Chains A and B, each alone.
Chain A
Amino acid sequence: MSAAVEGSCHCGAVRWHWAGAPESATACNCGLCRRAAALWAYGWEGEAITVSGPTRSFLRGDREIEFHHCPTCGGLAYWRAVAVQPDGRRRMAVNLRMAEPEAVADLPVRHVDMLRGEVPGYVKGRVADLWF
């Protein structure tokens, strides 16, 4: 498959590449995702997802995931699991807010109510409904 989606922070220093097309975007209501307006597409490091550029990262409270943002313009580009899976793969997700809007506008949105522990949530609407 030759299709791909590209994302970059505002200043362009941090980039991600998604080989193929994500199936959906996940919108979560936890304190972190709400503040960053994150729209996540989940994949595996070195498979669908490759990233580049210098980042600053911080660990979430449960210390399982590193969140990477651009130290210059603040753009939250992706998260990366601290531990690898038993099969050696590492979970990641890219923030689709860093993509060109047209590239992701039609993706269905999976809404996750993390505050009430309702995961994996439900699918409703498209990215364009939440965007501007």
Chain B
Amino acid sequence: MGEAPALEGRCICGGAGWWLAERPQDATTCNCTFCRRFGVMMAYAEDGPGGTITGETRLYLWGPRAIALHLCPTCGSYLGWTEVARGGPRRFAANLRLALDPDSVADIPVQPFEGLVSFEDLPKRGQCLADLWA
């Protein structure tokens, strides 16, 4: 990365993290059986130029295995996912819960995604990330 990242995140123990080149327009919340357990707030970018996950991670795959979920092997934090490579650019997602500075992401709008049954974005409810955490 040439320029300083727009956002950075770090897991609970500090052993792994992520960065994003640009501030996301919104962050996805999801009700699938994995995402709901971590209360995820995901921002998407192209892996590499748009940002990436850093540090040592453990991969967890389930379901259709289209994405690999990155966990910190020490503290279990869910950092985000990378698309399982099929050649060409791949997407990645960063869990904004891990942002170094919560104030830096507090006003990002929430995009709810129905990940349990229909796999589609739901209408926005006028919420931002600060509305969903303590």
Q: Please report A residues at the B interface, Cβ cutoff 8 Å.
A: 9-11, 27-29, 31-37, 56, 58, 67, 69-76, 97-98, 101, 111-113, 130-132
- Min CB–CB distance B102 → chain A (angstroms): 6
Q: Which of B62, B71, B74 contacts A58 (CB 8 A)?
A: B74
Cβ contact within 8 Å between B76 and A131: no
- Residues on A with C-beta less than 8 A from B77 are 35-36, 74
**Listed A/B pairs (29) with beta-carbon separation below 8 Å:** A11-B62, A27-B133, A29-B133, A29-B134, A35-B77, A35-B98, A37-B97, A56-B74, A67-B75, A69-B75, A69-B76, A70-B76, A71-B76, A72-B60, A73-B34, A73-B60, A73-B71, A74-B38, A74-B71, A74-B76, A74-B77, A75-B37, A76-B76, A97-B39, A98-B37, A101-B31, A112-B134, A113-B134, A131-B36
**B 38-66 contacts with A by CB, 8 A:** 38-40, 58, 60, 62
Question: What 6 pairs across the A-B complex have the smallest Cβ distances?
Answer: A37-B39, A69-B76, A27-B134, A74-B71, A74-B76, A132-B31
**CB < 8 Å: which of A10, A69, A111 contacts B33?**
A10
From A27, A33, A36, A101, give the contact of B38 (CB < 8 A): A36
| A10 pairs with B97, CB closer than 8 A | no
Q: In the complex, what's the smallest C-beta–C-beta distance from B36 to chain A, in angstroms?
A: 6
Please, which residue of chain A has its CB at the minimum distance from the CB of B98?
Answer: A35
Give the most central of B29, B76, B102: most A CB within 10 Å: B76
Question: Which residues of chain B from 95 to 128 have any CB-CB distance to chain A below 8 Å in the complex?
Answer: 97-98, 102, 112
Main secondary structure of the interface of A (DSSP, over half): mixed
CB of B91, distance to nearest CB on chain A (Å): 21
What is the total of A-B residue contacts with beta carbons within 8 Å? 87
CB of B76 within 8 A of CB of A132, answer no
Q: How far is the CA of A132 from the CA of B62 in the complex (A)?
A: 21
Cross-interface CB contact of B78 among A27, A74, A132, cutoff 8 Å: A74
Tell me, in angstroms, the Cα distance from A35 to B112 when the chains sit together. Answer: 19
CA A28 to CA B31, docked complex, whole Å: 21
B5 CB, min distance to chain A CBs, angstroms: 18
B30 at interface, CB cutoff 8 A: yes
- The closest CB in chain A to the CB of B133 belongs to A34
What is the CB-to-nearest-CB distance from A81 to chain B, in angstroms, rounded to a whole number? 18
B12 CB–A CB distance under 8 Å: yes
A131-B62 in contact given A35-B12, A69-B76 (Cβ < 8 Å): no
